[in-house]
Structures are given as structure tokens and as C-alpha cells.
Structure 1
Amino acid sequence: MFYVVQTAPAKEQITKTFIDEMVGSKIKLKSYSLTRDMRKKFGGQWMTVKEKLFPGYIFVETEDILDTYLSSFAVPLLTKYIGREVDLFETLTEKESGWISKLVAEGEEVPVSEIDIAEGNKVTILSGPLTELEGYVKKVDLHRRQAEVEVEFMGRKTVFYLGIEFVKKM
């Protein structure tokens, strides 16, 4: 089951390392601080840059959240487990866990998806994480080389952006 941990912005990776070393040594868990590859233009050249996908958040996958939580007290920079009420912890829903699992399938780095545009401006996703998230794509911005993805997250609609690379036009 996936749980969400809030931490200080720009401290996700170091907090994740602390969780892995301090908590993961006692309890079986996986933690993810997701980054995305985005295409940006610098000096007329398209380059791939890495950005935080969910700044200030870490995803923890564990079967024993109470022991994970109790072992987390020593972790510096950890703010809180989202959805915690006394001894109850809100897990991500099955739908939320589904799209998170698709994003983390290749690790913590979400690569650029390759797309093709056919006649009539029909976008076809050829490879990358968007192949698994196609139903969630709301808009493709070819100028910025990004896809707008809208998902249900923690009880509300959330929009995030993933990088795309235009392969060819038919």
C-alpha cells in the first residue's frame, strides 16, 4: 500500500535517503521521491532537464504503516504522514496507487514519452510513461513539449506535467 509523506521542499531526496537507511533497515518498505525528465530550450537547443514531479512529497510503499510511522520519528526533515488521524493512516486509493505504480515502474525517474502526430493532429503515444496513463492525459502542448495529466490524488483532482518528445509528423 502507498502512503504519502510530506517533507520540506527541496529536501525530498535527503529525507528519502534517511527513510531508506533509518526505517528501511528495520522494516520492509520502498520509498520514492519522483523526478521527471522535461524538454527545455536553451540557446536554441532542446535539452533534457530533471525536475521534481511532486515537490515536498515522498511516496512510501509498505504493508506495516504503524511500525513504519513509529520508526520514522528519528528521521530529520520529515514533516508528517498525510491523512494520519491518531492511529489510523489514510492509504492511497486503488486508483491512486494504480497510477503511482505506473509512474514508479521504471524507478524514481519518470522519462520523457515519445509521441507521433498523424493526420488531423491525432496524437499517438509511442513509448514512455504516458502509454500507461493515456486515459489521464488532458492536453498535449507541443510548443512546451509537455503533456498535462489530470488524476485523482488525496481526494481531489490534481494536474501534473510530463515531458514529451515529438518523433515525427506523418
Structure 2
Amino acid sequence: MESKEKRWYVLHTYSGYENRVKSNLESRAQSMGMQDYIFRVIVPEETVRQVKDGQAKEVEEKTFPGYVLVEMVMTDQAWYIARNTPGVTGFLGSHGGGSKPTPLLPEEVDRIMKRMGMDVARTDINVSVGDHVKIIAGAFADLTGKVIDVDHEKMKLKVELEMFGRQTTAELVFDQIDTVND
């Protein structure tokens, strides 16, 4: 069951190795040219208030110890790279015997992201080539530009903008832009 759709999956890791697995998987995806298949890797954490020795302080705690979330397109190669990352013991929802795992439901992902204080990623936006957009995040924030390419499958677009008196092309994700009424 090879999918072309970007979905969220849960990796099971050795307890205490979550951040190491995140780092390893991100670097493996980069070094093996899998950035178009393995996108975001998240260790769900939340801020918890603790009182220790009479002092109250806020600390980050793992929401799901032993688990890491990965947003990916489930291809054989991406699946192989993720499950063979050091510290990964397997995918949650995989029944063994080479079966691919079951992705999280969109509602589950939304709930986890909101709990972590993260915005839920935009999956689609109504822009076309030639439209003008305002960049709201990243290195080009507060600039406006003209859309020259839209890739709805990868949720990316290319925007041509003027910077330092020259035309520059920026590759952005949908979350980084807002539409502008001409």
C-alpha cells in the first residue's frame, strides 16, 4: 500500500531517545535526499508547572514518552529509512510481517498540535499563478510577491518578489503566506 499522500505516523522509540531519534531521522532524510517524502519530525512536549524544593518552575515534559511523530509520504524507501533510524523500535499501527503502519487521523494530529501550542498546518490555499500574496513568516516576512508556481501536492509555492532592487524567487509553504486582495 504505497501512498502519495502526506500523512502523520507514530514511531516507537527507546524511552529517553526521542530527541536523538528526531535529530537522526531529520539528518538521514536530508543526507539520503528524502526531503520530498519525510517532512516534519516532532517530539510532542508540553510545559508543566512543578514545585521542587519549595520553588515553582515550568519544565518541558514529553507528552508521549517513547514516541515521535513523523509527517511523511509512505513509500517503501521512506518507510525503510524511518524504521531503520537508530533508536526506532518500529511504527505504531504496523502489524509486523512487512505491513505498513496506519496513519493518525487528522483530528488526532490537530488535537496534539493544539495541545503543544502549534498551529495546525494549512493543507490547501486558494491561490493561482499570477496572484499576489503577502509573506507572513520566514526570512521574507512582510514582503509581497507574485505567485509563479503552485504545487498543491507538496503544499509549496514559488513567489517572485523584489528585494534589494532585484527580482528574487522564494520557495515557500502554504503556512508562510496570506492572500492579498488586488
Fold similarity call, TM over 0.5? yes
Query: What is residue 34 of structure 2 aligned with on the other side?
Result: 27
Query: What is residue 140 of structure 1 aligned with on the other side?
Result: none
Q: Give yes or no for the alignment of 1:90 onto 2:106.
A: no
Q: State the aligned residue count.
A: 107
Tell me the secondary structure at the aligned position of residue 89 of structure 1. Answer: coil
Identify the structure with bigger relative contact order (alpha carbons < 8 Å, sequence gap 6+).
1
Contact 1:66–1:87 (CA under 8 A) maintained in structure 2: no
Structure 2: stretches of 5+ with no match in the other structure: 1-6, 120-182
Structure 1 residues 33-42 or 8-17, which shifts more? 33-42
Query: What is residue 130 of structure 2 aligned with on the other side?
Result: none
Which amino acid in structure 2 is aligned with residue 99 of structure 1?
R
Larger radius of gyration: 2
Change (3 A) 1:75 1:45: same
Which of 9, 30, 55 is 1:45 aligned to? 55
Contact 1:39–1:49 (CA under 8 A) maintained in structure 2: yes
Tell me the secondary structure at the aligned position of residue 97 of structure 1. Answer: helix
Q: Tell me the distance in 2 between the aligned counterparts of 1:84 and 1:59.
A: 14
Contact 1:7–1:58 (CA under 8 A) maintained in structure 2: yes
Which amino acid in structure 1 is aligned with residue 89 of structure 2?
T
CA deviation after TM superposition for structure 1 residue 74, in Å: 4.2
Contact 1:34–1:58 (CA under 8 A) maintained in structure 2: yes
Which amino acid in structure 1 is aligned with residue 59 of structure 2?
V
Contact 2:11–2:70 (CA under 8 A) maintained in structure 1: yes
Change (3 A) 1:58 1:38: same
Change (3 A) 1:35 1:65: farther
Which amino acid in structure 1 is aligned with residue 69 of structure 2?
F
Which amino acid in structure 2 is aligned with residue 98 of structure 1?
D
CA deviation after TM superposition for structure 1 residue 4, in Å: 0.2
Q: Percent identity?
A: 23
Query: What is residue 76 of structure 1 aligned with on the other side?
Result: 86
Which structure shows the bigger proportion of residues in helix conformation? 1
CA deviation after TM superposition for structure 1 residue 12, in Å: 0.6
TM-score, normalised relative to structure 2: 0.52
TM-score, normalised relative to structure 1: 0.55
Which amino acid in structure 2 is aligned with residue 8 of structure 1?
Y
CA deviation after TM superposition for structure 1 residue 45, in Å: 2.4
Structure 1: stretches of 5+ with no match in the other structure: 108-170
What is the Cα-based RMSD across aligned positions, in Å? 2.2
